[in-house]
Amino acid sequence: MAELKNEFAWSKSRDETFRTCPRQYYFQYYGAWGGWEATAPERVRQLYVLKQLKTRPVWAGERVHLCIERSLNNLRRGITVLSPDKIAEVTLAQMRDDYRSSQQGNYWKKPKSCALFEHEYGVPVPRERWAQTADDVRECLHTFYTSALFAELRAVPREAWLQVEELDKFDLDGIRIWAKVDCSFRQGAAVRIYDWKTGRSLAEANTLQLVCYSLYAQAKWGTAIENVFPAEFYLLVNRLQEYQVKAADVADAKQYIRGSVADMHSLLADVAANEPLAEGAFEKTADARSCLRCNFIGPCRPDLLPRLRGEASASEAN
């Protein structure tokens, strides 16, 4: 088997990490590389495990995405989808298993198993907050499976389906871009793309992400930008936001991505080989709040751990 290479490719999440904290970016994309190997140095292994940590909302969102992914793939194969109540029951049972595994710290032996930020850093969370997480998952699933959109998806011909939660790359003016479309299918000459959102906040349409989806559809399936219709479905508030990408959006996105890539490349010792400068070249953010939300707070700012636990306790008490 060929040796895995750490190759550079841009993504919106990569850009967000870089903008939030260059040191976190280093840990995520370089410091943790190779941590899955049995012979990995101790610190590399530590960073690789911590890279897998997720907060309660992220964990809940991933479980909702996985559940919908299974259902849509069953639709594509002509397999009957379970009832919403049964789907929620199965998903919450899996989450209880996740919780127990994470609480026991099993992720240090099996890094791909569930690893919750709150357990690793001893963040106090009352039982009712965990129960609220479960209720949010149940609400997201109920909204999705009883929606007009899901009824529409049930009617999509099997040959019209394109992708469900498939991670892929495309080339944009010589830059490799990661794209992962939650759901896509053909509708005549058009391509419909949907992105599931599981948070409480209802934001404006994420233009950069939606433009990337449209550019991906153009590169992958040869679909004209004007025939790509991306949308975001906010499941917790039952709101579908549709968007039409404009030529100005594409121009702005390309300019932004070029600038983002240039900034990232400025911290590489060898751009062609994607070899980073020394860790110290990647500055830590001055924003303590960003630190307190970072998976790598232990290796980077252990001095903030007491504050993390104290602020969590104060927040839960109010």
- From 24-28, 70-74, 308-312, the region with the lowest mean pLDDT: 308-312
CATH number for the segment(s) 159-265: 3.90.320.10
CA pair distance 102, 96, nearest whole angstrom? 10
Q: Is the pLDDT of residue 313 over 60?
A: no
Tokens 């049930």 correspond to: 154
Could you read off the pLDDT of 238-273 as tens digits, one per residue?
999 999 999 999 999 999 999 999 999 999 999 999
CA pair distance 119, 121, nearest whole angstrom? 6
- pLDDT for the residue numbered 204: 56
Q: Is the pLDDT of residue 298 over 50?
A: yes
- pLDDT for the residue numbered 175: 95
Q: Is the pLDDT of residue 315 over 70?
A: no
DSSP 3-state of 196: strand
- From 11-15, 161-165, 206-210, the region with the lowest mean pLDDT: 206-210
pLDDT-derived band at 1 (thresholds 50, 70, 90) equals low
Q: Is the pLDDT of residue 304 over 90?
A: yes
Share of the chain above pLDDT 90, in %: 92
Q: For 215-224, which contacts have Cβ atoms below 8 Å and span 24 or more sequence positions?
A: 215/170, 215/172, 215/177, 215/250, 215/253, 216/168, 216/170, 216/177, 216/179, 216/181, 217/184, 217/191, 217/193, 219/170, 219/171, 219/172, 220/168, 220/170, 221/162, 221/191, 223/189, 223/190, 223/191
Q: Taking the model in full, what pTM does it have?
A: 0.93
Could you read off the pLDDT of 107-139 as tens digits, one per residue?
999 999 999 999 999 999 999 999 999 999 999
pLDDT-derived band at 185 (thresholds 50, 70, 90) equals very high
- pLDDT for the residue numbered 314: 46
Contacts of 6 (CB under 8 A, 6+ apart): 29, 30, 33, 274
| DSSP bridge pairs for 242 | 231
DSSP secondary-structure letter at 202? -
Could you read off the pLDDT of 35-91 as tens digits, one per residue?
999 899 999 999 999 999 999 999 999 999 999 999 999 999 999 999 999 999 999
- pLDDT for the residue numbered 318: 36
Please provide the average confidence, as pLDDT, over all residues in the chain: 94
Q: Is the pLDDT of residue 97 over 60?
A: yes
- pLDDT for the residue numbered 3: 74
- pLDDT for the residue numbered 203: 61
